[in-house]
Chains A and B, each alone.
Chain A
């Protein structure tokens, strides 16, 4: 048995292709066998979490048992009752394993044993199910489909973060031969774009160019050097992650699933708000729907703030602070979160100003281009904070 992480080497794709072929053949005849998908899931989980990583495998198994018990219990409870404290406890319990792992550097190193590759992405899915159960939107729930949703292996380690109701629909209904043929076409295209993005461009930028730029900055490259580093690192981050997402989406297509996109030309955004609708979309939509909108609903319904703008700005800070902490409890991740919160509040203020003075402001192709350039630089400055390079630099000085 060869053990490897998802999409780690081109060999993964060969194994994937062979293992998924019978599933694809069935789908071409409009058929679906759930047991085969279960077998595939076990096989690929074993490949990524077995061998030298068996401890992660145990943590994953424990996590799945815990979350399935929690979601089942809450679903059963919710059919008859709907108390707010129970919902809050269920949500906190769903977050607990991830919180413990993230807090392990401050609390106790031993807690990190509960971690495994992709725990945060599974947690986003777990929390979503609890929230939508509360909203009464999840009408059908079963432990098997829940586990298959959490462990959908093409997207297990870094998303895209799917939605339970959408996934559930596709799990039981095969796409039909014509639609599946379309998905295969798209899937192959995604995977090859992924090779270009992740294996070629990101590799050149991250593993060949970035070390050189780093050397240049450390040998006294000054401000210009830091600027180079910022550009190269930002582009590397995009191609690496967008490439990975393309692999996940392409692999899902080959299995007959049309999972949501994660990137939509983020560097063409005209402002920070637009950027978050185009960058790591499933994550930012998750934070939008389950943090920002929930908080805002609470604030507006209970009339906590006189000003809607103040409420919204506070909710943005909560969202981005949480997103920063999720990346890790390090000052530069927290700074990254606060930076984006400040940026989005400023953007909102600017958009309100623009709305009021619609006729007085120039508006055309040139202003659009200018806004794209400014947004690109604001975003890259954020990535520079995120990279931790400034931290490294200050320590060297």
Chain B
């Protein structure tokens, strides 16, 4: 589970091009304009490729997947 969370942060860092996602786990990714729909799709594709976790796009509700911490938690839930 920790592994998935770590990979999630790696992916987020690559996509957003900023280490802020690691430094501030409660960063409002969409509100700050750091992540957008394209970023979400890239994230979902990478998550499936690296962790074998397939999260449907319609599950990615921005209010529940708002921060790096949220995303890591949700992805870990889906990994189980």
Contacts and interface: CB of A to CB of B under 8 A. Distances in A.
Do the two chains bind? yes
Interface of A: 128, 131-132, 135-137, 273, 288-290, 292-294, 296-297, 300-301, 308, 312, 348, 351, 355
A137 B17 contact: no
B42 interface: yes
Contacts of B59: 135, 137
Contact of A351 (B33, B56, B58): B33
A137 B61 CA distance: 12
11 contacts: A136-B56, A290-B58, A292-B37, A293-B40, A293-B57, A297-B41, A297-B44, A297-B45, A301-B45, A308-B38, A348-B38
Given A289-B58, A290-B58, A351-B33, A300 B42 contact: yes
Contacts of B6: none
A137 B33 contact: no
B19 interface: no
Contacts of B40: 293
A294 B33 contact: no
Contacts of A312: 38
Interface of B: 17, 33, 36-38, 40-42, 44-45, 56-60
Contacts of A293: 37, 40-41, 57, 60
A395 to B, nearest CB: 38
Given A273-B36, A355-B17, A296 B58 contact: no
A323 to B, nearest CB: 15
Contacts of B44: 297
Contacts of B37: 288, 292-293, 296
Q: Which of B17, B38, B41, B45 has the most CB of A within 10 A?
A: B41
B38 A135 contact: no
A293 B62 CA distance: 13
Given A351-B33, A355-B17, A296 B56 contact: no
Contacts of B41: 293, 296-297, 300
Contact of B45 (A136, A273, A290, A300): A300
A279 to B, nearest CB: 16
Contacts of A288: 37
A273 B36 CA distance: 9
B58 A297 contact: no
A361 B42 CA distance: 28
Nearest to B16: A355
A262 B76 CA distance: 31
Nearest to A270: B33
A288 B38 CA distance: 10
